[in-house]
Structure formats: C-alpha cells, structure tokens
Chains A and B, each alone.
Chain A
Amino acid sequence: MTTWGLVAAGGFFGAIARFAISRWLNFRAGSPWPWGTWLVNSSGSFLLGWLVGAEVNPNILMFAGVGFLGSYTTFSTLHWEAQQFAVKKEWSTMVLYLGVTYITGFLAAFVGLWMGSH
C-alpha cells in the first residue's frame, strides 16, 4: 500500500513539473522545437539512470523513480509532437526531433547510470 502511495505522490509532482517546464520552453520565441519536452525527457533519463546506478533504497526509487521521473518524462507527447510535424509535412524537423530526443535520452541514461554507480 505504501508503495502505491509513493508512486501516486511522485506522479503528482512529476506531471506538474513536466507541464511547467513544457509551458515555459515549448515553441518559445518562434522556435519550432518543443524544447521543454526534450529537456524533461533528457534530464529525466539522466536522473533515473543515476537513481538506478546508485541503487537507492526501494522507497526512494518508488517515489522519485517510478512515480516522479516516470511521470516527469513522457513518450506519448513526444510521439504526438512528432506526428504533428508529419501532419505539416515538416519531415526533416520530425526526423531531427525524434533522432535528437532518442539519442540524448539514451546517452543521458548511460551517463546517469555510470555516475550513480561510481
């Protein structure tokens, strides 16, 4: 039961943090990029890698990892935004956005895992 409570509490703050950052940075000042979504996905991948690498205690992992960072990062919005680029036939932006997000997320998770375990 405690576990579910920790996941719920983390999810509450994770979603709010993602929304705040997205609202602040997405498509800002004429930029065609959802920089906010990119930032939450990259930083969240790094932080989760760090938590897992550091083998933090299970309660912290449930709250901060599964709850907060799970909700802070998003896969559906990423692909929805990419889909919107496709609708507007902005193919190069779509490929670049997906490519950059996947690559930075992958590398950020590795750096996090490495830093956490060293």
Chain B
Amino acid sequence: MVYFWIGVGGIAGALLRYGLYLLMYQWTGPLFPWGTLAENWIGCFVLGWFNVWAHERLSLSPQLRTSLGTGLIGSFTTFSTFNVDTWELVMYGDKWLGLFYVLASFWGGILLAWVGWRLGLYLQRERLDLPQKGESP
C-alpha cells in the first residue's frame, strides 16, 4: 500500500514539475533551463525543512511522510533532465552557460538543503520553546 501512496505523491510531483517548467519556459525562453534549476533549488530547500518537520510529527503516518518526502518532493526534482540539459547546452548552446548550470545546481543544492534544514531546526526550537543555537539558555 505504501507503494501506491508514493505513486500518488509521484503524480503530484511530476505534474508540478511539468507545470512550473512550462511556466518558466514561457517566461524566460529556450536559452537556459531556468525551470529545472528553480525546481531543483526549491526541492532541496523544502525537503531539508520537511524532513526535520516530519521527524517531530509522530502523528504523521510513515506512509504519508514517505508519500510527501520521497514521492512528491523527490519527483518534483530531477537529476536526469539536469544532465541531459547540460549536454544540450554544451553541444548546441553556450558551453559557459552549461558550466554555470552545473555550478549553480551543485552549490545551490548544497546551500539550499542546508538552509532548509537549519530553518526546520530553528522552527522546531521555537515551537518547543528551546534556546536557539548560540543563545544562552
């Protein structure tokens, strides 16, 4: 049954990804895959926050947790399109844009996963009324 709910999360993630991709394509044109970059950034940030948030929510069933984290957010972001788009930039577009795309995805992913995770911890301490990191108790 958990497989089914992950599939449902996957449907939502794939549709959101495709929708945002079309929107960004209309807005920014075909020269650079801004849509996929934005999705991967957003997904890293949201998953970082979500995993902390969900960890604390004992009432959240494991099925729903996996359906949202692994199913929805996992499917919203994509690694295959990232790599194929990079090659298309390198071969048919501007190879410097290709390099920018890889670096922006890589460092943005690291930074945003960290920021999302920190935000999750910050909000968790707020809720539990604990001293924040670096703050004297």
B79's partner among A66, A73, A83 (CB-CB below 8 A) is A73
B70's partner among A15, A44, A82, A110 (CB-CB below 8 A) is A15
Provide the bound-state CA to CA distance between A41 and B117, in Å. 23
Interface string of B102-117 (1 = CB under 8 A from A): 1001100110111001
- Which residues of chain A have C-beta atoms less than 8 A from B114's C-beta? 83, 86
Provide the bound-state CA to CA distance between A71 and B12, in Å. 10
Interface string of A14-35 (1 = CB under 8 A from B): 1110111010000000000000
Task: Given A11-B14, A80-B48, answer yes or no on A18-B80 (Cβ-Cβ < 8 Å).
Answer: no
Provide the bound-state CA to CA distance between A26 and B125, in Å. 30
| Chain A interfacial residues counted at CB < 8 A | 50
B78's partner among A9, A20, A70 (CB-CB below 8 A) is A70
Provide the bound-state CA to CA distance between A86 and B116, in Å. 14
Q: Would you call B124 an interface residue if the criterion is a C-beta within 8 Å of the partner chain's C-beta atoms?
A: no
On whether the beta carbons of A75 and B77 are closer than 8 Å, the reply is: yes
On whether the beta carbons of A70 and B75 are closer than 8 Å, the reply is: yes
On whether the beta carbons of B47 and A80 are closer than 8 Å, the reply is: yes
Which B residues fall within an 8 A CB radius of A? 3, 6-15, 17-18, 39-40, 43-44, 46-48, 51, 66, 70-71, 73-84, 86-88, 102, 105-106, 109-110, 112-114, 117
- 5 A-B pairs within 8 Å (CB atoms) are namely A7-B15, A12-B11, A79-B47, A102-B102, A106-B102
